[in-house]
Amino acid sequence: MTSSTTVDRAAREAATRNLMERRDASTDEFERQRLLEEVVELNLEMARGIARRFRGRGAEADDLEQVAYLGLVKAAHHYRLDEDTPFIGFAVPTIRGEVKRYFRDCAWTVRIPRRLQEMQGTIAAKLPLLEQKLNREPTPAEIAEHLAVEVDEVEQALAAKGCFNVLSLDRPAEADADLTLADVVADEEDGSIDQLETVEMLQPVLSDLGERERRILHLRFIEGWTQSEIGRDIGVSQMQVSRVLRKILDDLRGKLTPLQAAA
């Protein structure tokens, strides 16, 4: 099952809840584990979607998916039906948090092209002999001449030196001995991930709306129509559109508040 449409998302949420209710009612540990695995399998696409939004930041796509799957498993284990929170409202922040922790703890290295990696290895192997021959530290030009390569390649390899060293976030920052590296590294939120979480939370809530209410929301916030234009389209006055829109938004706000608190 994919998460491409509102109907799919609502169906997935309903199926997930049904599995969780059956698991909650069961005392057979084998059955409970089987139902939990079904919940995870049912929601794999949601985890993949979150992993995709973290691509291009230096970590392998397969690694990101595995970490997202781990977050999904944790969410399934810790989800509680009595909290009255949709599973996606609990799972998305859990998965996102797991991926963020992966970047903080495991992915601080910078990947450089293989040719520069190989050049670094060649320089490291030949440098001691060249230093001994010159009785000093050689210049990039001298290293390039000794290796019979372009100076640019040597300079790029030297500039990338240390990119494979993983720094502990508990290491003191050089600028201030009282601060750790974690204190000075920016921890910026990704707006696209926040948007994904909001959309995931909204989908089951919007599925409860009638066709007219969904059309009003679409015309107002997607198409950018005025209330008067919407009124003409659906055959009511601008005042009626205003009242209906206010009621829809109040209802949505009331339903989303507990979900945001849970996140």
The total number of residues shown for the chain amounts to: 263
- Of residues 199 and 42, more confidence is placed in 42
> Quick one: pLDDT at residue 114?
67
Q: Hey, what are 20's tokens?
A: 């969780």
- Average of pLDDT values for 29-56? 88
Handedness of CA 249, 250, 255, 256 (dihedral sign): positive
- Of residues 139 and 252, more confidence is placed in 139
- Return the closest-CA partner of residue 54 out of 41, 63, 45: 63
Beta bridge partners of 172: 180
Query: In sequence order, what are the residues at sequence separation of 6 or more whose Cβ sits closer than 8 angstroms to the Cβ of residue 75?
Result: 87, 90, 91, 94, 95
Which CATH code for domain 209-263?
Answer: 1.10.10.10
Where are the domain boundaries for CATH 1.10.10.10 in the chain?
114-184, 209-263
Query: In sequence order, what are the residues at sequence separation of 6 or more whose Cβ sits closer than 8 angstroms to the Cβ of residue 54?
Result: 64, 99, 103, 190, 193
Kindly tell me if the per-residue pLDDT of 155 is higher than 50: yes
pTM: 0.44
Q: Within 10 Å of residue 151's Cβ, how many Cβ atoms? A: 14
Q: How confident is the model at residue 201 (pLDDT cuts 50, 70, 90)?
A: low
1-108+193-208: CATH topology is Four Helix Bundle (Hemerythrin (Met), subunit A) (1.20.120)
> Quick one: pLDDT at residue 154?
85
> Quick one: pLDDT at residue 174?
45
What's the number of CA atoms in the CB half-sphere (13 Å) around residue 214? 11
In contact, 59 and 108? CB cutoff 8 Å: no
- Return the closest-CA partner of residue 103 out of 71, 131, 78, 76: 71
- Average of pLDDT values for 7-27? 87
Helices (H) then strands (E): counts for the chain? 13, 2
86, containing H or E segment: none
> Quick one: pLDDT at residue 124?
78
Rounded Cα distance between 11 and 42, Å, is 11
Which CATH code for domain 114-184?
Answer: 1.10.10.10
- What's the chain's Rg over C-alpha atoms? 27
Where are the domain boundaries for CATH 1.20.120.1810 in the chain?
1-108+193-208
